[in-house]
Amino acid sequence: MKRNFFALSLAFGFMAGSVVQGQTANQAVKDPVSSALRSMLPRRRDNTLAAISAMPADKFGYRPTPDQMTFGHLVVHIVEFNNSFCAKAADVPAPKVEEVKESDSKEKLLAAATASFDFCNEALSKMDDSKLGDSIDLFGGHQGSRASAVLILSGGLADHYASAAMYLRLNGILPPTAQPKK
């Protein structure tokens, strides 16, 4: 089951890299997984940062239920996740950054999130597919392939925007991707 999921995920990555790069499935793509991930990043970045910007500063302490994280904590998680998983995927050192807290100002959290996406862009620009089979520490002592880090990163980028969009909707704010076209 795990092997089939991994194979399907890689196949999707190959297809997405080809399609996004303006090529058909019959054309060869150098580093198709890395290319696909790089091509996804700008849209994920723009949408997530727009969602963070759209949340009023006085709502960064909002949590949908007592058991869920605050919006500010979500932003801290996004920063830490981006810095960690972009480094792991690209096999570069994670940046040394000032730790942010969920109680920090909206401006500080937005700046940290922006910097984490800038780091991802830089890190992924150096990435190629040659190290995807390397065994690495994913998190908490769990070992996996660098390809696993790529898949976790891809899913996390989408999940983080979806979470931010849900927080916005729960506060009566239309998320960036739901805004009418201008």
Name which residue leads in pLDDT, 9 or 141. 141
Q: Which residue shows structure tokens 């849900």?
A: 166
Quick check: is 21 in a domain? yes
Q: Which of 116, 72, 125, 126 is nearest to 96 (CA)?
A: 116
Domain that holds residue 131: 2-177
pLDDT, one tens digit per residue, over 29-65 is 889 999 999 999 999 999 999 999 999 999 999 999 9
Using an 8 Å Cβ cutoff, are 41 and 120 in contact? Answer: yes
Indicate the pTM of the whole model.
0.84
Section 95-109 average pLDDT:
97
pLDDT, one tens digit per residue, over 125-160 is 999 999 999 999 998 889 999 999 999 999 999 999
Q: In this structure, what CATH number is given to the domain that contains residue 159? A: 1.20.120.450
Section 98-110 average pLDDT:
97
**pLDDT at residue 172 tops 60:** yes
Quick check: is 182 in a domain? no
Count of structural domains, the chain:
1
Q: To the nearest whole number, what is the mean pLDDT of the chain?
A: 89
